Copies of this chain bind each other. A is one copy, B any other.
Amino acid sequence: MATTLKDIAKKLGVSTTAVSKALNDHDDIGDELKQEVRRVARELNYSPNSIARKLVSRKSRTLGVFMLSRQNKSEVDHMGYTFLHGIINEANLYNYDIVLFTTNSDFLEEKSYLDLCRERQVEGVIFTGLHLGDPHIEELKNSEIPVTVIDTELEGTNNLFVTSDNHFGMKKGLEYLYRLGHRQIALISGHKGAAVTKERFKSYHEFMQEKGIFKKDLVFNADYTQHGGFEAGEEIAALEKPPTAVLSMSDLMAIGAMEALESHGFIIPEDISIVGYDNIDITTFTRPPLTSIDQDGYDMGRSSVQITLNKLGEDVNFFEGAEKISDNKIVIKPKLVIRDSCKRLK
């Protein structure tokens, strides 16, 4: 049996109130008693019961985190875990607990996301991998607790938003290729379900239009997986007049495309330049190492906690790297990480 306030009180022949106050260092308690109480507390290996505390304070100090994914249960989702890593570390900093849900909306039957949150007395919730078209999205907009979504902007009043500046990222990548002399720049796109897909496509379209080099035949639709990228690569290889460069909306797709292209005799970057997105750690190990747009998922994770706790009234230190658009929106600027998969066009 764990020791409680009562045990300490009994041992010292005082009331539990006195003990409680002493341990919480209230100023209306005697110094000698404080000393005594602390001594006995240590002696009995006392540690406060956070559950009781939460019940009485009616604060759970808990955030829910949903890692949504269509992937196989046993597969690891890179960006998701990068976000999570930042989320955990930041939440720990503020002494908040995290309850993690990996449930997919396909598996939810009776219970909605918010039901799960209510059950666990979660004070705020963070979503990663949320899909436009998720059947529960309307409910989230009217949530009574703050809902922070990474990479998807909802328009409810209690909806917070953390994203990477996709426009900026795409522009960085495209400008880099453009400056290397490329004009035929293909795009490998992710599935339309993700908000980022739309944004990134828009940026691509704008940039290419502006330069007068947009061709809709150079847009290939895939699904953010390596396999999808492979198929896009096959299509590109089969083109009569293949592009001189490819920008892919994810590294995995870029890697798939590289495989396909190489199997058709293309040499990278001599014959075709490739830029990926996400800068997952695999990019270091591909041949050639892949130039990629880094979203800084760790910082996005941290920011998502910061913006949520801020909404909950905590005194938060937002960190420098993030661009705080409003109390409801934070944008992180991605950066281009240049490796060896692109070459100047002769």
Identify A54's interface contact among B47, B51, B74, B76, CB under 8 A. Answer: B51
Question: Would you call A2 and B50 a contact (CB within 8 A)?
Answer: no
User: Whole-angstrom distance from the CB of A98 to the nearest CB of chain B?
Assistant: 6
Question: Would you call B50 and A52 a contact (CB within 8 A)?
Answer: no
Q: Give chain A interface residues in 89-139, CB to chain B under 8 Å.
A: 89, 92, 97-103, 115, 118-121
Q: Copies per complex?
A: 2
Does A225 sit within 8 A of B, measured CB to CB?
Answer: no
Give Cα A97–Cα B100 distance, bound, in whole angstroms: 8
Question: Would you call B47 and A51 a contact (CB within 8 A)?
Answer: no
Does A287 sit within 8 A of B, measured CB to CB?
Answer: yes
User: Whole-angstrom distance from the CB of A110 to the nearest CB of chain B?
Assistant: 11
Identify A50's interface contact among B47, B81, B119, CB under 8 A. Answer: B119
Q: Pick from A184-192, A199-207, A278-286 the stretch touching chain B.
A: A278-286
Does A211 sit within 8 A of B, measured CB to CB?
Answer: no
Does A48 sit within 8 A of B, measured CB to CB?
Answer: yes
Give Cα A12–Cα B50 distance, bound, in whole angstroms: 33
Does A198 sit within 8 A of B, measured CB to CB?
Answer: no
Contact residues in B for A78 (Cβ distance below 8 Å): 76
Does A73 sit within 8 A of B, measured CB to CB?
Answer: yes
Contact residues in B for A325 (Cβ distance below 8 Å): none
Q: Give chain A interface residues in 68-94, CB to chain B under 8 Å.
A: 73-74, 76, 78, 81-82, 85-86, 88-89, 92
Question: Would you call B281 and A115 a contact (CB within 8 A)?
Answer: no
Does A197 sit within 8 A of B, measured CB to CB?
Answer: no
Does A328 sit within 8 A of B, measured CB to CB?
Answer: no
Question: Would you call B76 and A85 a contact (CB within 8 A)?
Answer: yes
Question: Would you call A120 and B285 a contact (CB within 8 A)?
Answer: no
Question: Would you call B89 and A102 a contact (CB within 8 A)?
Answer: yes
Does A60 sit within 8 A of B, measured CB to CB?
Answer: yes
User: Whole-angstrom distance from the CB of A66 to the nearest CB of chain B?
Assistant: 12
Give Cα A97–Cα B117 distance, bound, in whole angstroms: 12
Contact residues in B for A99 (Cβ distance below 8 Å): 97-98
Give Cα A285–Cα B73 distance, bound, in whole angstroms: 21
Question: Would you call A115 and B81 a contact (CB within 8 A)?
Answer: no
The 8 sampled A-B contact pairs (Cβ below 8 Å) are: A2-B118, A47-B118, A48-B119, A50-B121, A51-B51, A51-B60, A89-B102, A285-B285
